[in-house]
Amino acid sequence: MDQTGVPTSQVALQLVGPGKLKLNDRKEVLRPGPTQVLAKVEAVGVCFSDLKLLKQFSQHPRKSVVTSGLEKEVLSGIPSYVPDERPTVPGHEVALRIVAVGERVTRYKAGERCMVQTDFRELPTQNSNAAFGYNFEGALQEYVLMDERVMIEPSTRERYLIPVSERLSASAVAMVEPWACVENSYANPERRTLKAGGKLLVVAEAGHEVAGLKELLSGPDRPASIVAVGAAGLPLPATTASDPASLPNESFDDIVYFGARKATLDVLNDKLAVRGLINIVTGGRKIGAPISVGIGRVHYALTRWTGTVGSSAQESYRNVPSSGELRPGDRVAIIGAAGPMGQMHIIRAVCSGVPRLAVVGTDVDDARLEVLGRKALRLARERGVDLRLVNTQKEPTRGEKFSYIALMVPVGALVADSIRDSRDGALINIFAGIPASTRHDLDLDAYIERRCFMFGTSGSVIRDMKAVLAKVESGQLDTNLSIDAVCGMAGAADGLAAVENRKLMGKVVIYPPLRDLGLVPLSDLAQRFPTVASRLSDGAWTPAAEEELRKVAATQR
């Protein structure tokens, strides 16, 4: 142990290969170099995304090498940078305290208490981006080393280590990150016109008027290049092609399609780039058959679909919302509501302050719905929100129509069902991580006629973390309501297994300073730690329970 009180070794849960976890009680505590920051971990949450890393290891897109943003020489000098086959430490939902900084660190100082924005979006990998807890070591250890050159967002110069109040519990701080992912799915801004400087593909079937493009292309949001298939008389120069199938896949930021031909739409699906938007202008005609849509890419690649039964391309963009936020008077369905993330969506809706909401949460597990009810029904009554929880195996909701549908279950058929159950102007939030390669047949005729808009997001940004933190600090939101079990490092692997096997109805929070504490569901606290259980609130985790656990677990083995 040095003069700062930091030990030379620690306990860490390391991922050393696909499906291979190692609880290492002799992992070195790395000392910070000139540009580095060392922090002590107070608490860390277990995320379903950790399981994806566990299974995929070096094949996970965020575990691979950083391709730009920092020089190789810089990266090689960061000992906590562990891409590809190198062992890593998972854990990205974290509360920590900085204990030491290098002499060239300018934005951080010892003593600061922080949470971590996980996604380093300006450090790309081949198929994703770098991330804390993936190709940079995460928080399932007692101490974690970070580098200031990684932990500052390049474009904004904002900190990825976000300061938090001393009065918040460590668990509440750690839970901000998963709640920020939920926040992002509602707050993420949507593009409502052509991408400025992007690549545009215009496809027109014979007999379809090309209308509305002149107005779109006369504004400031002009594309850098245009490819035209069957579309003559465009107001800007364009390269012509005879067949959209001959064009490269995933290469167009915008596709405007004048037509209603299934074979063409099936091809155009593959041409959308990451964050690409396709605008279908049917001119009053019917497609007449389901279209195979890449719904997995809606979530992971942020692709978007809009359309109009009219003849002008301008009309479709009016159906794109400014964001995925709930709207006054929405009738909301949250599918898979009783799982850990579904609970967050329910509680966020109930606590949102959006007027005149009616919310239906569905699941197929009575026990999970009962737990959710204990957390959410009282909140709904206090806030005047109409909340109903339904086991759809016993009480099907088919026939009900909704203006907002959020999907927690990664099943393609549920996207099709959402279109079927949509009201006019419905928003369909594909929150569940449907595998990126998944396609599913969708009724785009109904989707376009009802002016639906489906969207998905992955992860969060600094803005979302700060928004959730503000809600927690003001008392609008209690992130501790997510928690269903606690443990120390001895229970970390069991916590991951419990999440994988869906044995818990909420989140697991790990307290690394409590080395020897195994996994304890909150429902078992009365038997294991009665004084901790007495400090729960209606069965929910609290700051007082956390404080008591620190006292009693430190003295028991």
Beta carbons within 8 Å of 80's beta carbon, 6+ residues apart: 30, 136, 137, 144, 145, 146, 147
Residue 132: closest CA among 142, 117, 113, 112:
117
Banded pLDDT at 486 (limits 50, 70, 90): very high
Q: Which residues contact 280 (CB under 8 A, 6 or more apart)?
A: 257, 259, 260, 265, 305, 306, 307, 308, 316, 444, 448
- Write down the residue that tokens 């380093």 correspond to: 120
* Among the four given CATH numbers 3.40.47.10, 3.40.50.1820, 3.40.50.720, 3.30.930.10, the one describing domain 199-317: 3.40.50.720
Question: What single letter denotes the amino acid at residue 178?
Answer: P
Pairing relation of β-strands 520-521 and 386-391?
unpaired
CA distance 304 to 444: 13
What's the pLDDT tens digit per position in 221-238? 789 999 999 998 888 899
Please say whether the beta carbons of 129 and 149 come within 8 A. Answer: no
Length of the chain, please? 557
pLDDT of residue 302: 93
pLDDT, tens only, 304-342: 999 999 999 999 999 999 999 999 999 999 999 998 899
Residue 1's pLDDT is 60
Beta strands 507-510 and 199-204 are unpaired
pLDDT given at position 49: 85
User: What is the C-alpha to C-alpha distance for residues 281 and 260, in angstroms, rounded to an integer?
Assistant: 8
Write out the two tokens for 99.
């204990």
Q: What is the distance, to the nearest Å, from the Cα of residue 251 to the centroid of all Cα atoms in its chain? A: 24
pLDDT at position 32 is 97
DSSP state of 312: B
Contacts of 188 (CB under 8 A, 6+ apart): 323, 324, 455, 457
Rg, Å, the chain Cα set: 25
How is domain 331-455 classified at the architecture level of CATH?
3-Layer(aba) Sandwich (3.40)
- pLDDT above 70: percentage of residues in the chain: 99
87 vs 398, higher pLDDT:
87
304-308 and 358-363: which strand pairing? unpaired
State both tokens at 394: 């016993």
Token pair, residue 324, equals 């995925």
Position 396 scores a pLDDT of 81
pLDDT tens, residue by residue, 466-483: 999 999 999 999 999 999
Q: Helix 176-187 crosses helix 340-351 at what angle (to 10 degrees)?
A: 60
CA distance 547 to 167: 12
Question: Residue 279 has what pLDDT?
Answer: 98
pLDDT surpassing 90 at residue 435: no
Report residue 26's pLDDT band, with 50, 70 and 90 as the boundaries: very high
Cα–Cα distance measured from residue 187 to residue 193, given in angstroms and rounded to the nearest whole number: 18
The DSSP 8-state label assigned to residue 486 in this structure reads E
Residues 395-406, mean pLDDT to the nearest whole number: 90
pLDDT tens digits, one per residue of 351-378:
999 999 999 999 999 999 999 999 999 9
For residues 262 and 284, is the Cβ–Cβ distance under 8 A? no
Q: Which two tokens stand for residue 314?
A: 């301008």
The neighbour count for residue 74, using CB atoms within 10 Å, is 15
Start-end of H helices in 57-106: 72-76
DSSP helix/strand/coil, 510: strand
Note whether 241 and 247 are within 8 A (CB): yes
Q: 245: which DSSP letter?
A: G
Which pLDDT does position 127 carry in this prediction? 79
The HSE-up count of residue 67 (CA atoms within 13 Å, CB side) is: 10
Tell me if 287 sits within 8 A of 305, measured CB to CB.
Answer: no
The answer for residues whose C-beta is within 8 angstroms of residue 130's C-beta and 6 or more apart is: 62, 66, 69, 120, 123, 124, 136, 150
Helix axis angle for 48-56 and 492-500, nearest 10°, is: 100
Structure tokens at 480: 């501790």
Decide: 431 and 280 in contact? Cβ < 8 Å. Answer: no
For residue 248, which of 276, 270, 226 has the smallest C-alpha distance?
270
The CA distances from residue 117 to 95, 152, 199, in Å, are: 11, 10, 31
Rounded percentage of the chain residues whose pLDDT exceeds 90: 88
Domain 9-187+462-474, CATH: 3.90.180.10
How far apart are alpha carbons 227 and 202 in whole angstroms?
6
Beta-strand relationship, 520-521 and 483-487: antiparallel
Compute the Cα dihedral for 63, 505, 416, 305 and give only its sign.
negative
Please compute the mean of the pLDDT values over residues 184-212 and round it to a whole number: 95
What's the rounded Cα separation, in Å, for the pair 108 and 110? 7
- Condensed to tens digits (0 to 9), the pLDDT of residues 34-58 reads 999 999 999 999 988 898 899 999 9
CB-CB neighbours of 210 under 10 Å = 21
pLDDT for the residue numbered 258 = 97
Contact by Cβ (8 Å): 396, 373: no
- Give backbone dihedrals phi and psi of 345, rounded to 5 degrees, phi first: -65, -40
Domains 9-187+462-474 and 199-317 agree in fold: no
Mean predicted confidence (pLDDT) in 275-296: 97
Query: Is the distance from CB of 15 to CB of 21 less than 8 angstroms?
Result: yes
Q: What confidence tier does 128 reach under pLDDT thresholds 50, 70, 90?
A: confident
Closest CA to 442 of 454, 433, 431: 454
Give the whole-angstrom CA distance, residue 154 versus residue 248: 31
Residue 556 pLDDT exceeds 70: no
Per-residue pLDDT band for 437 (boundaries 50, 70, 90) equals: confident
pLDDT value at residue 377: 96
Q: How far apart are CA 387 and CA 380, in angstroms?
A: 6
Q: Which of 79-88, 393-402, 517-526 has the lowest mean pLDDT?
A: 393-402
* 254 three-state secondary structure: strand
Please report, for the chain, the start and end positions of each structural domain, with discontinuous segments joined by +.
9-187+462-474, 199-317, 331-455
Query: Would you state the pLDDT for residue 28?
Result: 96
pLDDT at residue 4 in the model? 66
